[in-house]
Structures are given as structure tokens and as C-alpha cells.
Amino acid sequence: MELSVESLGTDVHSRLGGSIFPNAAWRLVWALSTLKGPDEHIRIPSFYDNIIRPTAHDRELMDALPDVADEYKQRFGVKQFIKGLTGGTNLKMEEVFTPTCTICGLTGGYQGPGSKTVQPAFASAKVDFRLVLGQKPEDILKKLRAHLDSEGFADVQIKYLGGEPAARTDPDDSFVRTVVQSAEEVYEFPMALVPMVGGSGPNYPFVHDLGLPVATAGLGYPDTRAHAPNENIRVDLYLKHARHMARVIKEFANH
């Protein structure tokens, strides 16, 4: 979604308006600061209601996967993880089984080279919430609106850009086993089974409305740089992924 504030009809010289006119950028920053605290807890009332917690089996599957802490530090330049996390299974569980509130971008006033002492009339922020099982976009949207209003930010506009509920397939589903088993002859080593990943896609109607299993077998690699500058895929992995999908379709037809 996009949150925005319009406090003036036009940008104003900060000498004129700095001490007597409302500043859209400050107004938006103050509103954003109510969404999450320094402890990383999302402060929207009832935000965590209805969440379906991970199972003991989910933790067992995460236990079997490699520790990602050192890889993340090297690949992304992470100095330290939030919430006191250091690595191991707790880090892997927190990554995908806890909902998020992310400021993806901020815009307001003058952003060009050098200085321009301006009182911005308009400011906006792109914000996303990664939802987990049990949460619904329309419910979170209502709770966000109610929260901003109760905090005195009824002037902050919300533009809904899209969303979907979380969905998952049982890791022990026979279709998941088919995807895992058909990968080994292509990649020449066993495929790791991850019980849940973060991402966006039309999984919910297939899983919950049609009752169909969904498994994701991505073709990315550590330097794919997803959603970052120079996002890329490797041709060799693209071709292997195509061969894997062909085998999945063939095996599915045999069931």
C-alpha cells in the first residue's frame, strides 16, 4: 500500500513555513513511527490475532536445513540481525513464520543534488505487510486505518495496491514428494525441503479454494539479487529448471 500526506497546496520556502506551516514529511514520519517500535513489534491493535502458528514438524524441517546466518551476512552485508537473533533454526523460523511491516520507500520534498530549503507539501511511503497463515489483507487494511485514526492521523491517506492471504501446502503431500524426487536426476543432489518461504503469488485460491497442492521449485541462486539492482538468473539453471518441470509434469501424469 501507499501512505501519503498532503499538508499544503504547494511546496513552501522553509524560511516562511518552517515554524508555522505543517510539514507533510514530518507528519508522515510521525505516522509511520506508530506502526512498529524499536523492539520490532508491530503496534497495530489485534494485528497478531488469528495467526496460525508453525508446527513441531515445521521446526524439524527447518532444523534439517543449513544455517543461513553467515551466508546472509556475506551476501547482504548484514552487520547483525534484529530481535537478538544470531542464527540457527530460530533465525530460519522467524524469517518466514512471523508477519512483517516494511517501509519499502519514502518520498517527500526535494531529493536532488545540493540543498533546497523547502517545506514539502506532499510526502508518501510504500509500505508492505508480509502476512502469515490466518491473516487476511482486508482485515489488516481495516486495522491499519483504525489505528492511524486512533493515533490522530486521519489525514494520512491509504492507497491499497494489492494483497492476498498467505497459503501453504502440507510438506508431506505426495505432490511435494514428486517435486523433490524428480529434481535429483537433474541437479544431481537431493533437493532441500523448506516448509515455508516468503513471496507473492496466486497460491491462496489454488490451495484453499480448489484444494490443490502448490510447491515452489525456484531457479534462483545466491546472487540472483531478487528485487534489487541487477536482478538476474543464470542460463544453466534456467535450463535445468525447465528439465525439472518437464519431469514433474511427466511424473504427475503417472499418478
Q: What is the mean pLDDT of each run of 10 residues along the chain (255 residues)?
A: 96 88 96 97 97 95 95 93 96 96 95 91 97 96 98 98 93 93 90 87 92 89 87 94 94 82
Tell me how far apart the alpha carbons of residues 146 and 35 are, in angstroms, rounded to a whole number: 12
Q: How much is the pLDDT for 103?
A: 98
Domains of the chain: 2-159 (3.30.70.360), 174-253 (1.10.150.900)
Q: How much is the pLDDT for 228?
A: 87
Q: How much is the pLDDT for 223?
A: 87
Question: Nearest 5°: phi and psi at 127?
Answer: -130, 135
Q: How much is the pLDDT for 28?
A: 98
Q: How much is the pLDDT for 241?
A: 95
Tell me how far apart the alpha carbons of residues 17 and 11 are, in angstroms, rounded to a whole number: 9
Tell me how far apart the alpha carbons of residues 81 and 70 are, in angstroms, rounded to a whole number: 11
CA dihedral over 185, 189, 194, 199, signed as positive or negative: negative
Beta-carbon neighbour count of residue 203 at 10 Å? 18
**Cβ(222)–Cβ(75) below 8 Å:** yes
Q: Which three cell numbers stand for residue 71?
A: 551466508
Q: How much is the pLDDT for 198?
A: 84
pTM score, whole prediction? 0.89
Question: How many Å is the maximal CA-CA distance in the chain?
Answer: 75
Q: How much is the pLDDT for 18?
A: 85
* Residue type, position 38, single letter: P
Tell me how far apart the alpha carbons of residues 196 and 53 are, in angstroms, rounded to a whole number: 12
**Cβ(54)–Cβ(168) below 8 Å:** no
Quick check: helix, strand or coil at residue 246?
Answer: helix
